[in-house]
């Protein structure tokens, strides 16, 4: 955090000084300060311990440098007294130099969430700096939304906004007639935050963590992260178009998958587990359109180089390489006043399967969402079900959000996992929780 600030701010300062027009309105008028303060409590109903007792301050500053240049900086200061989600001080080896969080003690961290400059030059919009770039039409299920890594600190239970890790990125959007070409260059080798063993949501599912034979000495080495600024950067492009009511996009990315590939090496001394990141091409597209009360949307992506754990003892490194085709189709129904009913169907297919692959060749997940707004959208009630067809496991998330007065929101919720422990969701079967939150905006 500190390092990134040191690296970035001289640039910002220079641009700012160069661009501030003395004749224009006072600086105070061009600066907009806002933010929110959240108090979050999550209580494990099975474990009977608090998973989270957090206070989060998210200040945001926006500065109009010139009419065409705008700077946005968002930081996050978090103190989680429970310290169960990331016990101790995480090593952050998955994070690049410029995207690390700064820890104060074991339960407080500060992170520069976003810091970017927006500029508009003719028909090109540029956003340079630390940011999130989101692709795709699906909610929660990721096929194309792969540009930013994710934190699994709370598995998938926290907000998308918070779960994405913003990256230092150059993002250019160029209008070409009625269409848009977006070119993204990410020179930030930061990948998913995976909770370490001992954390509340540490992974145990054999689909993710290789099962190791008991009694054999095992050495787990630290993940190897790509580190070459230019050579290891990600590049991506999206061509999007609105035509005859259809929102269409064509996407391509040449990027590192954000999940580490966990390889095991048998040696005389035992087993060495190594983790590294692998590059892949992603080619895909998305669509959405509305028919009456129904919105139909979907996305599809083919990743050329994916790695899957295998049970084959004879396998040299315990993973096989294959292409992966994934897609989501979804529909939202808004035919009933104040109701939203949404369903999604997701499949991931290993295109070059091996009989020993741990996960199924085809993974199928469905989601079902019902949301109801009440009292002029003062109160929002929502139930979300995510269910995998392979393991018949899943999670039910129910929540109530209430806007007490302008800028103060209260919320209560429950997250209930079910299914077998080897399942992606079932692994957290004992991590059911209820949550209470207060959010104060300013």
Closer residue to other proteins in complex, CB, 6/175: 175
DSSP lists the bridge partners of residue 366 as 345, 387
Closer residue to other proteins in complex, CB, 36/274: 36
Closer residue to other proteins in complex, CB, 118/393: 118
DSSP label at 424? T
Nearest CA to 100 out of 108, 89, 88, 112 is that of 112
What are the strands, taking DSSP E only, across 277-407? Answer: 279-291, 294-309, 319-333, 339-350, 362-374, 379-388, 394-405
Tokens 């001080």 sit on residue: 89
292 forms part of the interface with other proteins (CB under 8 A): yes
Query: Closest distance between other proteins and the C-beta of residue 164, in Å?
Result: 7
Instruction: Tell me the C-alpha distance between 90 and 108, whole Å.
Output: 11
Question: What are the Cα distances from residue 361, in Å, to 35, 324, 358, 396?
Answer: 45, 10, 9, 25
Closer residue to other proteins in complex, CB, 228/337: 337
Closer residue to other proteins in complex, CB, 21/32: 32
Query: Which tokens in the block code for residue 51?
Result: 């998973």
405 forms part of the interface with other proteins (CB under 8 A): yes
Closer residue to other proteins in complex, CB, 234/432: 234
Q: How many Cα atoms sit within 13 Å of 53 on the Cβ side?
A: 6
Instruction: Tell me the C-alpha distance between 279 and 135, whole Å.
Output: 19
SS3 411: strand
Give yes or no for a contact between 128 and 171, defined as CB atoms under 8 angstroms apart. Answer: yes
125 forms part of the interface with other proteins (CB under 8 A): yes
Rg (CA), the chain: 23
From residue 159 to residue 198, the character string flagging contacts with other proteins as x (rule: CB under 8 A) and all else as - is: xxx--x--------x-x----x-x----------------
Q: How many CB atoms neighbour CB 249 within 10 A?
A: 22
28 forms part of the interface with other proteins (CB under 8 A): no
397 forms part of the interface with other proteins (CB under 8 A): no
239 forms part of the interface with other proteins (CB under 8 A): no
Query: Closest distance between other proteins and the C-beta of residue 53, in Å?
Result: 22
Chosen residue from 13, 39, 294, 436 binding other proteins by CB under 8 A:
294
Max intra-chain CA distance, the chain = 75
Chosen residue from 23, 48, 228, 337 binding other proteins by CB under 8 A:
337
Question: What are the Cα distances from residue 393, in Å, to 41, 43, 56, 209?
Answer: 25, 21, 31, 18
Instruction: Tell me the C-alpha distance between 438 and 39, whole Å.
Output: 5
From residue 248 to residue 287, the character string flagging contacts with other proteins as x (rule: CB under 8 A) and all else as - is: ----------------------------------------
Give yes or no for a contact between 382 and 362, defined as CB atoms under 8 angstroms apart. Answer: no
Query: Closest distance between other proteins and the C-beta of residue 221, in Å?
Result: 35
Instruction: Tell me the C-alpha distance between 157 and 425, whole Å.
Output: 11
Chosen residue from 2, 6, 134, 436 binding other proteins by CB under 8 A:
134
Closer residue to other proteins in complex, CB, 161/430: 161
430 forms part of the interface with other proteins (CB under 8 A): no
Count of residues binding other proteins (CB under 8 A)? Answer: 53
Closer residue to other proteins in complex, CB, 142/255: 142
441 forms part of the interface with other proteins (CB under 8 A): yes
Query: Closest distance between other proteins and the C-beta of residue 68, in Å?
Result: 12
Chosen residue from 7, 11, 216, 375 binding other proteins by CB under 8 A:
375
Give yes or no for a contact between 129 and 168, defined as CB atoms under 8 angstroms apart. Answer: yes
Instruction: Tell me the C-alpha distance between 164 and 315, whole Å.
Output: 34
293 forms part of the interface with other proteins (CB under 8 A): yes
Instruction: Tell me the C-alpha distance between 298 and 300, whole Å.
Output: 7
Closer residue to other proteins in complex, CB, 159/313: 159
Who's near 5: CB < 8 A, 6+ residues apart?
112
Closer residue to other proteins in complex, CB, 105/441: 441
Which residues contact other proteins by CB under 8 A?
Answer: 34-36, 60, 70, 118, 120, 123, 125, 127, 132, 134, 136-137, 139, 159-161, 164, 173, 175, 180, 182, 240, 242, 245, 247, 288-290, 292-295, 297, 332, 334-335, 337-338, 373, 375-378, 403, 405-407, 409, 439, 441-442
């Amino acid at each position: 955090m500190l390092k990134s600030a040191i690296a970035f701010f001289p640039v910002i300062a220079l641009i700012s000084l160069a661009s501030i027009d003395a004749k224009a309105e006072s600086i105070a008028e061009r600066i907009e300060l806002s933010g929110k303060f959240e108090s979050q409590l999550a209580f494990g109903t099975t474990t009977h311990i608090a998973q989270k007792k957090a206070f989060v301050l998210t200040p945001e500053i926006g500065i109009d440098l010139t009419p065409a240049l705008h700077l946005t900086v968002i930081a996050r200061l978090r103190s989680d007294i429970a310290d169960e989600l990331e016990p101790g001080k995480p090593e952050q080896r998955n994070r690049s130099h410029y995207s690390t969080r700064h820890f104060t003690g074991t339960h407080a961290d500060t992170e520069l969430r976003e810091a970017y400059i927006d500029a508009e030059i003719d028909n090109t919009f540029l956003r340079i700096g630390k940011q999130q770039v989101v692709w795709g039409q699906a909610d929660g299920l990721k096929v194309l939304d792969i540009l930013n890594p994710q934190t699994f600190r709370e598995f998938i239970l926290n907000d998308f906004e918070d779960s994405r890790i913003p990256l230092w990125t150059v993002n250019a959007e160029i209008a070409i007639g009625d269409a848009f070409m977006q070119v993204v260059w990410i020179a930030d080798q930061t990948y998913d935050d995976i909770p370490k063993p001992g954390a509340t949501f540490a992974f145990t599912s054999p689909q993710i963590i290789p099962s190791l034979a008991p009694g054999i000495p095992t050495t787990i080495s630290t993940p190897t992260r790509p580190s070459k600024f230019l050579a290891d950067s990600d590049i991506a492009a999206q061509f999007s178009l609105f035509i005859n009511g259809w929102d269409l996009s064509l996407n391509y990315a040449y990027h590192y998958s954000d999940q580490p590939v966990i390889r095991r090496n048998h040696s005389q001394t035992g087993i060495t587990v190594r983790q590294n990141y692998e590059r892949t091409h992603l080619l895909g597209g998305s669509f959405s359109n509305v028919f009456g009360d129904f919105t139909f949307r979907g996305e599809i992506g083919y990743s050329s180089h994916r790695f899957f754990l295998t049970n084959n003892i004879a396998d040299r490194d315990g993973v096989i390489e294959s292409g992966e085709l994934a897609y989501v189709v979804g529909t939202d129904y808004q035919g009933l006043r104040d109701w939203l009913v949404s369903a999604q169907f997701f499949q991931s297919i290993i295109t070059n399967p091996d009989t020993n692959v741990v996960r199924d060749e085809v993974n199928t997940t469905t989601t079902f969402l019902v949301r109801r707004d009440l009292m002029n959208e003062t109160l929002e009630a929502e139930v979300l079900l995510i269910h995998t067809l392979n393991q018949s496991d899943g999670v039910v998330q129910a929540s109530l959000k209430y806007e007490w007065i302008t800028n103060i929101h209260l919320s209560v919720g429950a997250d209930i996992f079910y299914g077998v422990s080897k399942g992606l969701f079932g692994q957290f079967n004992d991590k059911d929780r209820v949550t209470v939150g207060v959010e104060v905006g300013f």
